[in-house]
Amino acid sequence: MSKVKAAPTLAFVTLGCPKNTVDSEHMLGALVQDGFRTVADVSEADIAVVNTCAFLQSAVRESKEAIAAVAELKTTGRLKGLIVAGCLAQRSGEALLTEFPGVDAVLGTGQWREVVRAAHHVLGGSEERLVRTEFPGGALDALSPRALSTPRHIAYLKISEGCDHRCTFCIIPHLRGDQQSKPLADLVAEAKKLASQGVKELNLIGQDTTGYGTDLPGQPTLADLLEALDQVDGITWIRVQYTYPRLWTDRLIQVWAHAKRIVPYVDMPLQHIAQDMLRTMARAMTEKDTRALVQRIKAGIPGVAFRTNFIVGFPGESDEHYETLERFVEQEQFDNVVCFTYEREPETPSYAMTPRVPINTRRSRRSRLLGLQQRISREKLARRIGEKVTVMIDGPAGRGQWAARTAGSAFEVDGGVVVDGENLIPGQLVSVRITGAAAYDLFARVEKPAEPGLDILS
């Protein structure tokens, strides 16, 4: 009697943003459908896929460290093959084969569909090393299988890929290409499928979500998509991330405010506020218009939580420019602020810009801005002690506590709520009383399970 050959084992290492996570989920889904068996520990895998990030030089270094660590397993463990995919693969291509002799295949962002063929090629013992980086892109195929890697009640819904903007600091168009939007009907069908699988929170992602539809026939807008997704039964929260300021409209604000499932949470990287910096960054928005948009959103979406990003130390940023940004953050009292120290990227226009800001000054400004935001956040959260709010349970946190979030916090990137309670279920909405606060997190105790119709947008 012939012995049944064991299925080859597979492990993924995913770095970077949620867009990369979705790409990994599609590659993983294709490999599992083909008969591969997943393992959590890379040291127990026959094939490893490292899906890389290369948005900044710091991300490039992290990706290369991950590749080196996995490649080491080819000499010390059972690992037979190493595939490098994603943004660093797109950015560096064949150079990765020279730098890392243990890499067997390099697949750029637009070649994610090739992962099954690459895996079989490697396992087949071929000494030929593959490099496929013909065109940038990402997973938008409505028919591609997908294996979710997030908790069961949360899923990312990638609505678009690439970006048409040409900010002078950004390499994304080089790595991901121009704007490509997924058809609206496909997104609604995908949302319904995810809801049938138990997903309660959809997180809409793309390089520029407000640019959704500009490349599609009829040019549907993000507002059109939100209205359609708001009708999908079974979904509790719909969150939109990565909006670009220039494409916000009054209609989008109105739809956001009145939809029953769209949470009052706006993620809009502003990058700076000083007029000179916005112009040299090619942000296509003036300081006046940017300030006005922030006010329109705050006035138009009741109780909105506002998350944004800034870059400090961009070429030409003076003390006055930085102080303008600092005053803006103080005035607007954002709920969540991410601050990047400017990093020179060779493929971007800003690489050659002068005058350059000394690295110590860049780091000092970042430290100052984050210190200011920490104080703002601590004071805002402290004022919430005693409030009753609704949270979504994400999972156990140990010692009778649970990790949770209000609608104003995104999974894994914002502060959360640590809840004292018993017998709670991930994805469940519960009413809690805020009992304490730290710089970015709240502490609470359960009041009662949320009832149908309870205001979920607290």
Answer for the pair 415, 441: CB distance below 8 angstroms, yes or no: yes
A 10 A CB-CB count for 114 gives 19
Of the three residues 382, 407, 430, the one that is the final residue of a domain is 382
Q: How many angstroms separate the CA atoms of 83 and 107, rounded?
A: 7
Of the three residues 366, 382, 398, the one that is the final residue of a domain is 382
Residues with Cβ < 8 Å from 290, sequence gap 6 or more? 245, 270, 273, 278, 283
**Residues 226 and 268 placed together within one structural domain of the fold:** yes
For the domain that residue 46 is a member of, what is the CATH number?
3.40.50.12160
Is 144 inside any structural domain? no
Spell out a b/e string for 63-92, using b for 16 or more CB atoms within 10 Å of the CB, else e.
Answer: bbebbeebbebbeeeebbbbbbbbbbbbbb
Give the pLDDT band (50/70/90) at residue 6: confident
Q: What is the pLDDT of residues 216-238, one digit of tens each?
A: 999 999 999 999 999 999 999 99
A 10 A CB-CB count for 386 gives 8
Q: How many angstroms separate the CA atoms of 138 and 148, rounded?
A: 16
**Residues 271 and 366 placed together within one structural domain of the fold:** yes
Q: How many angstroms separate the CA atoms of 392 and 401, rounded?
A: 13
Q: What is the mean pLDDT of residues 93-102?
A: 96
Is 455 inside any structural domain? no
Answer for the pair 47, 80: CB distance below 8 angstroms, yes or no: yes
Give the pLDDT band (50/70/90) at residue 444: very high
Percent of the chain with pLDDT over 70: 97
**Residues 123 and 166 placed together within one structural domain of the fold:** no
Is 148 inside any structural domain? no
The yes-or-no verdict on residue 450 having pLDDT over 70 is no
Quickly count helices (H) and strands (E) in the chain.
13, 19
3-class SS of residue 437 = strand
Q: What is the mean pLDDT of residues 290-313?
A: 98
Q: What is the pLDDT of residues 246-279, one digit of tens each?
A: 899 999 999 999 999 999 999 999 999 999 999 9
Of the three residues 83, 99, 132, the one that is the final residue of a domain is 132
Residues with Cβ < 8 Å from 295, sequence gap 6 or more? none
Is 138 inside any structural domain? no
For residue 185, what is the enclosing H or E element? helix 184-196
Q: How many angstroms separate the CA atoms of 363 and 75, rounded?
A: 39
What type of residue sits at position 278? L
Is 74 inside any structural domain? yes
Is 375 inside any structural domain? yes
Sheet holding 237-240, edge to edge: 154-158, 201-205, 237-240
The yes-or-no verdict on residue 337 having pLDDT over 70 is yes
Q: What is the pTM of this model?
A: 0.93
Q: How many angstroms separate the CA atoms of 417 and 429, rounded?
A: 13
Name the residue with tokens 């390499």: 171
Q: How many angstroms separate the CA atoms of 147 and 23, rounded?
A: 10
For the domain that residue 211 is a member of, what is the CATH number?
3.80.30.20
**Residues 233 and 358 placed together within one structural domain of the fold:** yes
A 10 A CB-CB count for 385 gives 14
For the domain that residue 396 is a member of, what is the CATH number?
2.40.50.140
Please count the structural domains in the chain: 3
**Residues 70 and 166 placed together within one structural domain of the fold:** no
**Residues 50 and 195 placed together within one structural domain of the fold:** no
Answer for the pair 52, 96: CB distance below 8 angstroms, yes or no: no
Q: How many angstroms separate the CA atoms of 391 and 447, rounded?
A: 11
Is 316 inside any structural domain? yes
**Residues 310 and 427 placed together within one structural domain of the fold:** no
**Residues 356 and 325 placed together within one structural domain of the fold:** yes
In order of 9, 26, 157, 235, 346, the CA distances from 33 in angstroms are 13, 11, 21, 27, 39
For 102, counting Cβ atoms within 10 Å of its Cβ (0-12 exposed, 13-18 middle, 19+ buried), the class is middle
Q: What is the pLDDT of residues 410-427, one digit of tens each?
A: 999 999 999 999 889 999
Give the pLDDT band (50/70/90) at residue 95: very high
Q: What is the mean pLDDT of residues 5-20?
A: 91
**Residues 85 and 227 placed together within one structural domain of the fold:** no
First to last CA, the chain: 64
Give the pLDDT band (50/70/90) at residue 1: very low
- pLDDT given at position 449: 57
Tokens found for residue 366:
């970042």
Domain housing 415: 388-449
Phi and psi at residue 118, in whole multiples of 5°?
A: -65, -40
Q: How many angstroms separate the CA atoms of 27 and 359, rounded?
A: 39
Tokens found for residue 79:
């690992």
**Residues 54 and 119 placed together within one structural domain of the fold:** yes
User: Would you say how long the chain is, in residues?
Assistant: 458
Strand 336-341 versus strand 305-312 pairing type: parallel
**Residues 165 and 102 placed together within one structural domain of the fold:** no
Is 1 inside any structural domain? no
**Residues 362 and 401 placed together within one structural domain of the fold:** no
Work out the angle between the directed axes of helices 222-229 and 250-258 (0-180°, nearest 10): 10
Answer for the pair 262, 226: CB distance below 8 angstroms, yes or no: yes
